[in-house]
Amino acid sequence: MPESMHDRALRRTGATAETIYGVHAVEEALGQRAIDHILIKEGPSSRRVQEIINRSRTLGVSVRFAPRQALERAAGTAHHQDVVAVCSAKAYVELESLLASRAPLLVALDGVEDPRNLGAVARAAVAAGADGLVIPERRAAGLTPAAAAASAGALEHLQVARVPNLVRALVELKKSNVWIYGFDPQATKTYLDLDCRVSCLLLFGGEGRGLSRLAREAADELARIPLRGPVESLNVAVAAGIVLFEAARQRAAEA
């Protein structure tokens, strides 16, 4: 049977990649599909597009405004009617769901915008036995198909909570006796000085800028990864992998 226009609107290349574009298709998907975010063309919006914006916000779906060219790249066509929904590779969970284990080991990313880095961190987290990942809604990569591809299947085995305000989420976790360990190249302590046998969250900053000021202030302790030679910094996924496997080593030694 020939593929319909609606089917084409629901398809992108790649086994897990998917966007939905066009007013009617996005209207139908809202509330029915796991959507990472909605892309809206910058500038004035039509009545129906404004209704999508309003409904998305009611449902807690992130809305982002971008130039027409960005929507064309996401949809793979110029016929997107000023709205594109980027589907999630999986559904998010509530923050409280990450606290189910006796001494959870969690990871949080503060403003990591590259979905490939998000996917690589997720893969390291699963490999090290972490219990979950926390990411912010805004100015950060979400569980898009690109992140899923970079994780090479690991996202299927990791709970991910997406929160409106990362610092507020950190404060809530601290109330549940979760220690927040932030990583900053200027810190005095090293990651080897941290006790990761307790309930803890490993907090890593975004590409380039690192941890935000408020995130640093929310951390119980700050630590760094000592570097030798001319290398001044590490990719966030590499840094997360180093610290995660030290946490795994500490926990295995105590078991």
| 129 lies in the same domain as 82 | no
Average pLDDT over all residues of the chain: 88
- Mean pLDDT, rounded, for 220-245: 93
Number of folded domains in the chain? Answer: 2
Domain that holds residue 23: 5-87
Would you say the pTM of this structure is higher than 0.95?
no
Structure-model confidence comparison of residues 173 and 16, the more confident one: 173
Provide CB contacts within 8 A for 134, sequence distance 6+: 95, 98, 106, 107, 108, 109, 160, 161, 162, 163, 166, 169, 201
User: What mean pLDDT do residues 12-22 have?
Assistant: 58
Same domain, residue pair 234 and 166: yes
Taking the CB of residue 230, how many other CB atoms lie within 10 A of it? 5
pLDDT tens-digit map of 172-203: 999 999 999 999 999 999 999 999 999 999 99
pLDDT band at 209 (very low <50, low <70, confident <90, very high): confident
The domain boundary residue, chosen from 52, 87, 122: 87
Q: Are residues 54 and 117 in the same domain?
A: no
